[in-house]
Amino acid sequence: MTCAESQNLFSEYLEGQITGTVQQGLVEHLEACPACAQKLKLMRIMRVRLSKLDRKHLPDTFSFEMRRALLAEMNRENIWLNRLRALLSPRPQTVWSAAVGTAFAAVCFAVLWLTFPPGGQSGWRSDSVTEVDAAQHDQSVRYVLEHLPFDGEPIESTVKDTARVMPVPPSQAREVVQPVSATF
Amino acid sequence: MSELLFVEQFTRQSEMVTDEDLLAQSLDGSVNAFEVIVNRYKDRLFNFVVRFVGDQETAEDIVQETFLRAYRNRDTFQAVAKFSTWIYTIAGNLAKSELRRRKRWRFLSLGSKDEHGNTFELPDVASNPDRDAETLLAEAKIEDAIARLPDHYREAIILRDIEGLDYDEISTIVGVPLGTVKSRINRGRLRLQEDLGDLACALWKQDEDETTAVRSNP
Ligand SMILES: [Zn+2]
């Protein structure tokens, strides 16, 4: 057995983990090699010394800090746990709020769907808007024309007049508004 | 009665309760049961971590983080391993991450600090009245030699020779095969002896004298 081989076995030998021929070989080497024998003695002493090293101590504040950290952790955990519990076994109040919320979301979705449908055209009837617009224009034109300043001469309603009060091209306006003859 | 006193009393009452049972109790959200575990392991973990990372403040943080992680993952703990092995593994991994982080930082700051520099502090005799100055100085030198060991030797030596864990536990904690653990412990011890040189011989002589004195005055 070489010195290196014997030294590889020191720890196992000291802890009684080698037996038989291996142990015999090591003992024979130690008897013949004072350097290895001394190293082994030193290792034995070193082990005892290491086991007796002064114990280090945590400061007294550690327990307080630890408790605070654990309570904070527990609170954080409880928040998630309560959310999970509420989901799994909901109270009537929770069910109502969930139902109202869902209904509201559905209405919002429907309105958005009709206003901006996927096809691109509005879901609302477009002609109804035009009709209302035309009727309003019609009314305002009548009002303006009826209240034009009267300086004694009859006013012949012209295409030009209509164009002045209606911000639409006369060709279109004529379809909607019948020129009013201002003969008073 | 303050909360901590309650925990102390709870600890005394729970001396016979196993770590695994306490962990199961803490699953119901009982911080008190978990604090008993904290009281059982805080000093042992601190002794391991402070020698492994080499500074008190970081070691305190690592020990606290170890317990918090154990608490957070207490429902995933499998009773296949011992609880002590599990908690040491968490602490060891956190300590190793810290050492890696420091190495990267040292590498970035162009190795401003020599890893094998002599850093031991002179012992404070006044705060250790039960240990004589010579013993304290010897201990300080041994601590320093431990600090100079390569990380993987240091970890194995602390767990085996200072904390007294068995080889199988160390193998699980460190995450290497049993043979590797044995070899690291043996090499670590030999390195320590070489590093201590004359001091090791002096300790040997001192121990021989003590043995002779005991034999002649039984
Ligand atoms: Zn030899």
Determine what percent of chain A is predicted with pLDDT higher than 90.
Answer: 38
Q: Ligand 1 mean position to B150 CA, how many Å?
A: 25
Q: Ligand 1 mean position to A7 CA, how many Å?
A: 8
Q: Which CATH class is domain B121-218?
A: mainly alpha
Non-local CB neighbours of B105 within 8 Å, separated by 6+ positions: none
Q: Is B39 in contact with A63 (Cβ distance < 8 A)?
A: yes
Q: What is the band of A127 on the pLDDT scale with cuts at 50, 70, 90? A: low
**What pLDDT shows up at residue B124?**
61
- Tens of pLDDT, residue by residue, chain B (218 residues): 566 666 666 666 666 788 888 888 888 777 888 999 999 999 999 999 999 999 999 999 999 999 999 999 888 887 767 899 999 999 999 999 999 998 888 777 764 444 444 454 555 656 666 667 888 888 899 999 999 999 999 999 999 999 999 999 999 999 999 999 999 999 999 999 999 887 777 776 676 666 666 555 54
Residue type, B209: D
Of A128 and A53, the one with more pLDDT = A53
Measuring CA to CA, which residue among B131, B111, B115 is closest to residue B123?
B131
Task: Report yes or no: B172 at the A interface, CB cutoff 8 Å.
Answer: no
With contact defined as beta carbons under 8 Å apart, do B79 and B122 qualify?
A: no
pLDDT tens digits, A8-54: 999 999 999 998 999 999 999 999 999 999 999 999 999 999 999 99
Q: Is A62 in contact with B42 (Cβ distance < 8 A)?
A: yes
* A116 vs A124: CA distance, rounded Å: 10
What is the distance in angstroms between the Cα of A21 and the nearest Cα belonging to chain B? 20
Task: Report yes or no: A57 at the B interface, CB cutoff 8 Å.
Answer: yes
Q: Is B186 in contact with A10 (Cβ distance < 8 A)?
A: yes
Chain centre to alpha carbon of residue B22? 23
Residues of chain A positioned with their CB less than 8 A from the CB of B55: none
What is the average pLDDT across A96-122? 84
Task: Report yes or no: A58 at the B interface, CB cutoff 8 Å.
Answer: yes
**What pLDDT shows up at residue B77?**
82
Residues of chain B positioned with their CB less than 8 A from the CB of A64: 4
* A25 vs A22: CA distance, rounded Å: 5
pLDDT tens digits, B3-20: 666 666 666 666 678 888
**What pLDDT shows up at residue A163?**
52
* B162 vs A47: CA distance, rounded Å: 9
Task: Report yes or no: B133 at the A interface, CB cutoff 8 Å.
Answer: no
Tell me the three state secondary structure of residue B5.
helix
Measuring CA to CA, which residue among A90, A183, A176, A106 is closest to residue A141?
A176
Residue ranges of domains in chain B: 1-108, 121-218
Task: Report yes or no: A138 at the B interface, CB cutoff 8 Å.
Answer: no
pLDDT tens digits, B77-116: 877 678 999 999 999 999 999 999 988 887 777 644 444 4
How many CB atoms sit inside 10 A of residue A75's CB? 9
* B5 vs B35: CA distance, rounded Å: 12
Residue ranges of domains in chain A: 3-51, 57-89, 99-123, 127-181
pLDDT tens digits, A154-177: 555 555 555 555 555 555 555 545
**What pLDDT shows up at residue B116?**
43
With contact defined as beta carbons under 8 Å apart, do A50 and B162 qualify?
A: yes
Beta bridge partners of A155: A182
* A85 vs A110: CA distance, rounded Å: 32
Tell me the three state secondary structure of residue A155.
strand
Query: Ion ligand 1 — residues with CB under 5 Å?
Result: A 3, 33, 36
Mean pLDDT rounded to a whole number for chain A: 78
* B108 vs A123: CA distance, rounded Å: 65
Question: From 1.20.59.10, 3.10.310.30, 2.60.40.10, 1.10.1740.10, which CATH number describes the B1-108 domain?
Answer: 1.10.1740.10
**What pLDDT shows up at residue B68?**
95
Residues of chain A positioned with their CB less than 8 A from the CB of B61: none
Q: What is the ipTM of this complex?
A: 0.81
**What pLDDT shows up at residue A142?**
81
* B11 vs B27: CA distance, rounded Å: 17
Binding-face residues of A in 66-85 toward B, CB within 8 A = 66-67, 69-71, 73-74, 77-78
